[in-house]
Amino acid sequence: MARFAPTRLFALFAAGIAACALSLTGMGPAAALAPPTESSTSGTVNYVNLGDSYSAGFGSGALVPGPFPGCLQGSGQTHVTKIASMDNVNLTADVACAGMTTAQIGAVAQQITPYLATADLTTLTLGGNDLNLAGLVLACSTLGSDAACDAALAAGNAALPMVGASAHQTLQLVDAATPGEILVLGYPRLFTASNGDQPLMSASHARDLNKLGDSLNRVIRDATDGTSATFVPVLGPFNDHGLGATDSWIYFNMANLGDPFNLHPTTSGYLNGYYPAVRNHINMNQLMR
């Protein structure tokens, strides 16, 4: 493998993180979205997907533009495409975009209220960008330092209450806009530390980041309280499939640290990790009533 100076690696990794940043000011629903329709007596399930890059399919397929200016999605198979391919399911709006914070997801939800009003099922992920997980990984990687990692972890833990409050506010907006079921998907552990130190991350730092990720999942789960949303954990399906595992379901391109798909599920992660978890929470008979 080619070797780079640490400063060069740091710059490449940071560029990949920055590539996912969004500015959603003044965004409006794209004309490409089909007009929303009421659920029919034939049993059609109207489905809306929104959220951040883990809902936008980053890590699977190729990078493609989404329905809004500045919105990016992955073109490959994911839990969203699998749900959309189920009998009697109609994906009316797929408005997930990489880089979205909880507040930006809430802003999009307010702009697609006609679609949410007719939705029988809504799925989303949120919270990771508020915590800047990619920046945390950068600080704790072999490109960073122990001091930088400690500072980043402390800042991340300190930010969790604010992340939870913002996530709760967004979920309240979604809940108020839709009469249908809302499934909030959690995040997988990014690392499998049991195989020891890896080129990107020491086992110790990997465990620390996984602990923070677990805390983030708990905060997001708690953010569903007081709403009709249900939290769907994915830690079980992703167990022993993080970076460092023999069969990793987390995308990371060491040859291109600026790859915007880095630190996202692979196609296998979406289909074998996310899809079974969310499918277990979908009762088609109930949704079609």
The C-alpha atoms of residue 238 and residue 263 are separated, in whole angstroms, by 14
Q: Helix or strand or coil: residue 46?
A: strand
The C-alpha atoms of residue 138 and residue 178 are separated, in whole angstroms, by 38
Q: Burial code of 103-114, b = ≥16 C-beta within 10 A, e = fewer? A: bbbbbbbebbbb
Q: Helix or strand or coil: residue 117?
A: helix
Residue 265's φ and ψ, nearest 5 degrees, are: -60, 145
pLDDT at 69: 87
**Percentage helix, strand, coil, to 5, in the chain?**
45, 10, 45
pLDDT at 133: 80
Contacts with 3 (C-beta within 8 Å, 6 or more apart), sequence order? none
Q: Which two tokens stand for residue 50?
A: 């929104």
Give the residue from 15, 20, 48 showing the smallest Cα distance to 175: 48
Pseudo-torsion of CA 130, 134, 139, 142, nearest 10°? 160
Give the residue from 240, 132, 224, 147 showing the smallest Cα distance to 191: 240
Show pLDDT as tens, one digit a residue, over the chain (289 residues): 333 344 444 454 454 544 444 444 444 444 456 667 665 446 889 999 999 999 999 999 999 999 988 899 999 999 999 999 999 999 999 999 999 999 999 999 999 999 999 999 999 999 999 988 878 998 999 989 999 999 999 999 999 999 999 999 999 999 999 999 999 999 999 999 999 999 999 999 999 999 999 999 999 999 999 999 999 999 999 999 999 999 999 999 988 888 999 999 999 999 999 999 999 999 887 887 6
DSSP assignment, residue 172? H
CA distances 211 to 99, 206, 279, Å, are 22, 9, 26
The C-alpha atoms of residue 207 and residue 14 are separated, in whole angstroms, by 22
The C-alpha atoms of residue 245 and residue 92 are separated, in whole angstroms, by 37
pLDDT at 266: 98
Give, for 123, the enclosing helix (H) or strand (E): strand 121-124
DSSP assignment, residue 98? T
